[in-house]
Structure 1
């Protein structure tokens, strides 16, 4: 039998002397590869946008379990909707319309991203005044809805286009979703390791929309598209590029306008901003109104003021109270460990008292901010850039007379730093007679959570002192625990309250010091372990309440 000649998609036999694959990668297949590259890019944008959205919403709505549930739900809903709409659209349109739609979809996404970047700093503060769970869903819709719908719709559109070249089997569906998913993985990695450490989330959105406009412009110029349609595509690209560049160039003026929208906006000036995977840090100059009120400098992380100190060195935050507890319960500590540095108030104060000080901070930008703006001098202090849990776990001997845990991140202490195993590791670091001072908060509307943390710490340390403000007015308020292997006398705190001038809240909290024993806690109070860590659930409602007390700052301070 005579051998059959191979026929190419153009109906001609392959040219002699040229590889068959080169011939096949002409015309429709070249365009298909271009569209696959576009699907990879838009897959990266999809997941990058989800990561950025969670960080953008943190200063307004927090990072509780409820907020994350909202973000993930919004993402999956609109991805599914996009797949469905893209599938329906592909059944009713010809090849030319599908090709045009594949190029137009990223433009709609880019336009919605740049408009969301312009709108959310104004809208989110208003949403934060309502229920934060509802607000997080609405915020997710503003940031994610249109981009996720149109970008996910591109997958079925490309599958429909690929059907002519892959008429058998899955018509190339598996390949399309593989490319899109790999693009999503790349988007997460690039966002985590390149975008977040070097760009604010606001600017990252604008660069993302700018990039989509430029990519589509390049593909439109490279392809043969009827003149009027190419002009419309390029016009859309130009609009997105111009809007993105205008907002990038005019960010400072826009933020000044946002500050002017608040009655207290003129009282704050942003001196510096640091971005990292551990959150957004802003250093503020605070000029309060009113006679006798002193200017101060504040350390703001993800919309919550963590530290504040006046120009003459008066500490206005919880760290001053923690140092009073040090004075009461371990005034002669020779070797101190501070877990969590932030603005560096506590290690600096301990160093001035004398003795060796070791400070552990996971965020290197915190150390930079503390050094540049809060007179934190690492000389004479042993500083470790490390996770607190891994640091205490690798300590080989009980060396510290004092351990201070000040480990807030976002709305609360990370739950893996609240378990019974963590406190056992802290206890193993203590020298005989050593004391642990723990920064936390208590929610008068959530005693179950309060009792659970007391039960967990009390399961490790036989002596536990609780210090919470009796005058919080029903608000979630900062509080402390003092834990030790030896007896703790609450009268020391009471006596300290009468020693000198201090904020009224500190005075009342010291007066309210009480010892907590297992017998004082309800029988249902449970000890939380790594195996079954429920703190994210227990504290979810408290995190919402805590965040709602801090999201009233001027809008420009909450944009990260």
Structure 2
């Protein structure tokens, strides 16, 4: 139960604060800190008279159930009240997830004491069995969260299920007079009703959710937006009759620049690798404009592809018309779909490409293992032409500098442009790298400009990107 709660905490945090090494470190440290304090306090409870100790444990389980069920609601409230940045994230994680982590481990010392008392003279093996059972339960809880509950029922219901599991332990704690037993039943039923209400009536954290993604589809004027963990992942015009759509203009300026670069640099029948499917905007544009072109899009989460098919009209139609599973032996089409981690695909593929676009995101940042020297060395080995990279960072931020250092180590010609800066101080940083000179485009998207990035250490698999602070 504790590990299920911990993994769900990391998942539900993503729509509000993103997912990175920093967020996961904060969640793990906070929950483990709660486990430690709960175990220490539980030790004092275990030394009290049996009836008192059992009553305290019952109260702790009820508190656990309520706090776990209400966690996503509290998270949303703190974010709505202005919790932002690393400091806001740390404060929110502590206030939301620490209390339940304390209460959930309060019963453990009493359980160990009861096991030892039940087998006089075999205290060592009894304690070992209790500790082993706790480890097995943690393993089961982690697998349950990652493979079952989060993908199938979502994070809000997973929190409620954790609370329900705590309440299911109450019937095994029977002690005290009859009137106290009746009171306990009333409290248990009330807590159960609250947990059920939180799970069934609570607003889900995501419109579409898997173990990897928290997606929302929104309409903004003539645009349809695909939002992943609070960051706009892709956008399309809602109607082909929209004047800008008829003029061939893409919704998001950074995709417009990437397409202009592709259109300018490539021949009539290129084979292009896209690491990060997202809204499939660029593969769709490539195939629509070049009848002989082929594209391979690597998207780690099949849910993203399904949501695009159902909600983004142009990309959805293109996938339906020419998309195919690249792993299928009977593959026929021009848009190959690969549902795998981008780095794994790069390591395993034996195909060659004329160009590649690196546009994979986890929340508002690029996964660390996709921005290392080893990744781009592999790319250079299978891609004969230019590569293009989309990042989100400060104008001369550490992510942009590190990736720029990688590209300059591997390619003689690199250019960088940046888009407008958000109120969080970050914006799109776009890079192009090539073995041959990159001729300038006629124009840039509005508010975009060429930029210079400072020298920095190239990221490697050993010392990589740690996420936005």
Global fold match (TM > 0.5):
yes
Q: Which residue of 2 aligns with 1:281?
A: 215
Residues 395 and 418, structure 2, Cα contact 8 Å, conserved in 1 = no
1:369 aligns with 2:310: no
Q: Which residue of 2 aligns with 1:289?
A: none
Q: Which residue of 2 aligns with 1:260?
A: none
1:534 aligns with 2:464: yes
Residues 116 and 142, structure 1, Cα contact 8 Å, conserved in 2 = no
1:69-148 correspondence to structure 2 within 5 Å: 69-91=25-47, 93-129=48-84, 132-148=85-101
Residues 462 and 187 of structure 1, relative CA distance in 2, 3 Å threshold:
same
Residues 209 and 240, structure 1, Cα contact 8 Å, conserved in 2 = no
SS at match of 1:236: helix
> What displacement does 1:471 show?
6.8
Higher alpha-carbon deviation: 187-196 or 147-156: 147-156
Residues 115 and 414 of structure 1, relative CA distance in 2, 3 Å threshold:
closer
> What displacement does 1:513 show?
6.5
Q: Which residue of 2 aligns with 1:62?
A: 18
- Unaligned segments of structure 2, at least 5 residues: 323-332
Residues 339 and 406, structure 1, Cα contact 8 Å, conserved in 2 = yes
Q: Which runs of 4+ in 1 moved over 6 A?
A: 470-474
Residues 471 and 280 of structure 1, relative CA distance in 2, 3 Å threshold:
closer
- Unaligned segments of structure 1, at least 5 residues: 1-44, 256-269, 287-293, 498-502, 542-560
Residues 102 and 158, structure 1, Cα contact 8 Å, conserved in 2 = no
SS at match of 1:528: coil
1:341-352 correspondence to structure 2 within 5 Å: 341-352=277-288
Q: Which residue of 1 aligns with 2:388?
A: 437
1:188 aligns with 2:142: yes
Q: Which residue of 2 aligns with 1:411?
A: 364
Whole-Å Cα distance in 2 between the matches of residues 248 and 428 of structure 1? 50
Q: Which residue of 2 aligns with 1:304?
A: 231
Higher alpha-carbon deviation: 387-396 or 302-311: 387-396
Whole-Å Cα distance in 1 between the matches of residues 156 and 62 of structure 2? 19
1:482 is matched with which residue: 410, 432, 435? 432
Whole-Å Cα distance in 2 between the matches of residues 242 and 474 of structure 1? 41
Residues 183 and 59 of structure 1, relative CA distance in 2, 3 Å threshold:
same
SS at match of 2:282: helix
Whole-Å Cα distance in 1 between the matches of residues 223 and 422 of structure 2? 24
1:325 is matched with which residue: 258, 261, 276? 261
Q: Which residue of 2 aligns with 1:504?
A: 446
Whole-Å Cα distance in 1 between the matches of residues 269 and 377 of structure 2? 21
Q: Which residue of 2 aligns with 1:232?
A: 183
Residues 78 and 247 of structure 1, relative CA distance in 2, 3 Å threshold:
closer
Residues 414 and 118 of structure 1, relative CA distance in 2, 3 Å threshold:
closer
> What displacement does 1:470 show?
7.1
Whole-Å Cα distance in 2 between the matches of residues 474 and 147 of structure 1? 31
Residues 234 and 279, structure 2, Cα contact 8 Å, conserved in 1 = yes
> What displacement does 1:236 show?
1.9
Q: C-alpha deviations, 1:496-531, integer Å up to 9, x for none?
A: 44xxxxx522xx33xx277x8xxxx54xx222222x
Whole-Å Cα distance in 1 between the matches of residues 301 and 425 of structure 2? 29
> What displacement does 1:312 show?
2.8
Q: TM-score, normalised by structure 2?
A: 0.86
2:341 is matched with which residue: 387, 397, 402? 387
1:360 is matched with which residue: 295, 298, 301? 298
> What displacement does 1:127 show?
4.3
SS at match of 1:410: coil
Q: C-alpha deviations, 1:269-322, integer Å up to 9, x for none?
A: x9x832122121111223xxxxxxx33211111111111222135432232221
Residues 99 and 249 of structure 1, relative CA distance in 2, 3 Å threshold:
closer
SS at match of 1:540: coil
Residues 372 and 464, structure 2, Cα contact 8 Å, conserved in 1 = no
> What displacement does 1:335 show?
1.4
Residues 124 and 429 of structure 1, relative CA distance in 2, 3 Å threshold:
same
Residues 438 and 482, structure 1, Cα contact 8 Å, conserved in 2 = yes
2:194 is matched with which residue: 243, 252, 260? 243
> What displacement does 1:342 show?
1.1
> What displacement does 1:217 show?
5.2
Whole-Å Cα distance in 1 between the matches of residues 451 and 90 of structure 2? 41
Q: Which residue of 2 aligns with 1:460?
A: 410
> What displacement does 1:382 show?
1.4
Whole-Å Cα distance in 2 between the matches of residues 100 and 474 of structure 1? 49
RMSD after superposition: 2.5
Q: C-alpha deviations, 1:379-411, integer Å up to 9, x for none?
A: 2311111121122222335x3222111111122
Residues 279 and 186 of structure 1, relative CA distance in 2, 3 Å threshold:
same
Whole-Å Cα distance in 1 between the matches of residues 419 and 2 of structure 2? 45
